[in-house]
Amino acid sequence: MAVGVGLAEATGPVIALIAFSALMPILGYIEGKLKYKYLTGVTASVGFSFALIYLAYFLWRYWGLLAKGNALTSSFPIFGPPLGVEIRVDPFSVFMALLFAGLGFLVCVYSIKYMEHDTGLDRYYAMLLLLVAGMIGVAIAGDFFTLFVFWELMSISSYSLVSFRKYRWEPIEAGFKYLVMSDLGSLIALLGISLLYGHAGTLNFTALSAIFAKLSNIDRLYGYAILMLIFVGFGVTASVVPFHTWLPDAHPAAPSSISAMLSGLVIKAGVYAIARGSFMIFAPWTFDYGSLFVIFAIITATVANIMALLQRDVKRLLAFSSTVNIGFILFGLGTAAYALHLGASTTVAIMGLVGALMHILSHAIGKGLLFLAAGSFITRAKTRNIYELQGAGRAMPWTGTAFSIGLLSLSGAPPLAGFVSKFILLMAGYSVGTAFMNVATSLMLVNSVLAAVYYLRLIQICVIRPRGEVAKGLREASPVIVAPLVVLMIALIVIGCYPWPLLDMAQRAASALLP
């Protein structure tokens, strides 16, 4: 059921972030006059905290309604649904928006000190604010038109952020590659959206799901074509394997704070768009795409795992491991769709979706933490080679501890967040009970173990081994850099030990996704 709210009320965080980003050029000018180089960074952090506090207030005020399975909608008075713009907030949107704003705030605080030697910081923070505004917009969009506009806002800011340090060769090449691949992906998705409009005459999610629920066989074929276009288009940003090649180049080239944003959030926005585009519109009991998702998930995880095992560059290794984890999230979505198409009970499907959502959360926090910690190592040590970073964790104890906790969480060690999500995912896979799912889940289990191999090797080299040549002269990073790491580390431990409130929220978000 839809409950109407005011437009300004629903889009509050997006408006706040865009307003703060418009403020940045003026502040950059004042900063130049004042010779105080932290002004833009501190103001941008205030902007992020505004968005975060507003979302928390929104959640507190409307949680009663949202928890009952309602969606909050709002639109312009003249160009409204089913044709025009609609903002639609359901538990899944709030879940993702809180994640986007929270990690965005921590990355912004980290950037204050991390980026202090770069020039053009007003542009950097303006782009960072627009990036998060775009992602929150994607999460609260109620139709494909709004989703596409915010999607491009997000994409364009992330292209320019990847190539921010354009005086070196690497960001330019990686940024160009990312731009070409990701823009082609957006165009393919837009082609899918246009075919969707041509068939249904509307782009509204709820209206579309009603239209695609009753179809003849020819139309079903058309539906599969659209589904493939949307999956491929958003899959480029989500880095599903045949389309993942931009990711291992873009992550090492970008500043570490931006790698954390890309790996933690931008590729999750791709997964979000895939989940919305498939589950909301193409009902899983009519369309059979679950097995396809599962097969793509296995290919993604396996290929990326093998590539990650071969890497010596710490950021490139972490980038491949992001692709592995996208495989796990896609596996959760695929399990849910497969179980629903098979006619199994909804409980299994909800379990798969909850696993996917929890893995989105735990991987965003964990991989954000790892990239920020790696950035902290790299700024001090001036190298990305893991063998040259030998023992750096001993020289920088806080960063080293956070780095190890993040790696342990991603490898699925029990008291941490990664264990909860991987356990639910694999349990959901085994409870479907068909031979295909049993084999697939076992393959994912093997992949999980393979991933643990290089995570533990990274801990062994960077933290446990005695200090190498480079690590001898290192000292701990500044407290402003360490504070976000510690917050993320505590979040991993708390979620691992006491996941029940988040599991409850994820469960409501999962039921919101099913029509």
Partner 1 sequence: MELMSPQTYMVFSIILFVIGVCCLVSQRNMIKTVIGIEIATIAVNTALLSLGLMRAEALGLASQGPTVEPLAQVLAIISMVIGGLVAALALSLVVDAYRHYGTLDLKKLRRLRW
CA distance 202 to 436: 37
Between 236 and 444, CB nearer to partner 1: 236
Which of 297, 260, 271 is closest to 108 using CA atoms?
260
Decide whether 73 or 158 has the Cβ nearer to partner 1: 158
CB of 228 to partner 1, least distance (A): 15
The conformation of residue 72, written as its DSSP 8-state character, comes to E
Q: Find the angle CA(429)-CA(432)-CA(437) to the nearest 5 degrees.
A: 60
Alpha helices (H) in 90-168, listed in sequence order: 91-114, 121-140, 144-162
Taking a C-beta distance cutoff of 8 angstroms, is the pair 335, 432 a contact? yes
Full 3-state SS string of 465-496: CCCCCHHHHCCCCCHHHHHHHHHHHHHHHHHH
CB of 197 to partner 1, least distance (A): 6
> What is the C-alpha to C-alpha distance for residues 218 and 220, in angstroms, rounded to an integer?
5
The Cα 255–Cα 115 span in angstroms is 8
Q: Give, as ranges, the residues between 121 and 160 that touch partner 1 (CB under 8 A).
A: 145, 148-149, 152, 156, 159-160
Q: What's the start-to-end Cα distance of the chain, in Å?
A: 11
Residue 447 CB, shortest distance to partner 1, in Å, is 20
Q: Which of 25, 166, 221, 473 binds partner 1 (CB under 8 A)?
A: 166
Q: Is 287 in the site for partner 1 (CB under 8 A)?
A: no
- Counting contacts by CB under 8 A, is residue 201 touching partner 1? yes
Return the structure tokens found at 166. 């354009």
Nearer to partner 1, 17 or 193 (CB): 193
Show the tokens assigned to 4: 């109407």
Q: Rounded to an integer, what distance in angstroms lies between the CA atom of residue 161 and that of residue 286?
A: 41
- 118 lies in the site for partner 1, by CB under 8 A: no
Q: Which of 249, 259, 294, 381 binds partner 1 (CB under 8 A)?
A: 249
10 Å CB burial of residue 194 (0-12, 13-18, 19+) is middle
Minimum distance of partner 1 from residue 512's CB (angstroms): 25
In the complex, least distance from residue 317 CB atom to partner 1, rounded to whole angstroms: 13
198 binds partner 1 (CB under 8 A): yes
Residue 288: CB partners within 8 Å, gap ≥ 6?
Answer: 337, 341
Only one of the segments 62-70, 130-138, 167-175, 463-471 lies at the binding site for partner 1 (rule: CB under 8 A); that segment is 167-175
Identity of the amino acid at 318: L
Cβ proximity to partner 1, 79 vs 498, nearer residue = 79
| 163 is a contact residue toward partner 1 (CB under 8 A) | yes
Kindly report the length of the chain: 515
- Reference 514, options 98, 94, 213, 218; nearest CA is 213
By CB under 8 A, residue 312 contacts partner 1: no
Residue 204 C-beta: closest distance to partner 1, Å = 10
Q: How far does Cα 359 stand from its chain's mean position?
A: 10
Q: How far apart are CA 409 and CA 42, in angstroms?
A: 30
Q: Is 493 in the site for partner 1 (CB under 8 A)?
A: no
Q: Which residues pair with 385 in a beta bridge?
A: 313
The one among 65, 191, 228, 303 contacting partner 1 by CB under 8 A: 191
Is residue 184 involved in binding partner 1 (CB under 8 A)? yes
Q: Interaction with partner 1 in 383-402: which residues (CB under 8 A)?
A: none
CB of 81 to partner 1, least distance (A): 11
Task: Show the DSSP H helices in 201-261 as ranges.
Answer: 205-213, 217-238, 247-253, 256-261
Whichever of 52 and 179 has its CB closer to partner 1, that residue is 179
Q: Would you count residue 245 as binding partner 1 (CB under 8 A)?
A: yes
> Taking the complex as a whole, how short is the minimal distance between the CB of residue 363 and partner 1, in angstroms?
24
Closer by beta carbon to partner 1, 175 or else 277: 175
Applying CB under 8 A, which part among 173-181, 235-243, 431-439, 495-503 lies near partner 1?
Answer: 173-181
Binders of partner 1 among 68-97, rule CB under 8 A? Answer: 79, 83-84
By CB under 8 A, name the binding residues for partner 1: 79, 83-84, 145, 148-149, 152, 156, 159-160, 163, 166, 169-170, 172-177, 179-180, 183-184, 187, 190-191, 193-195, 197-198, 201-203, 245, 248-249
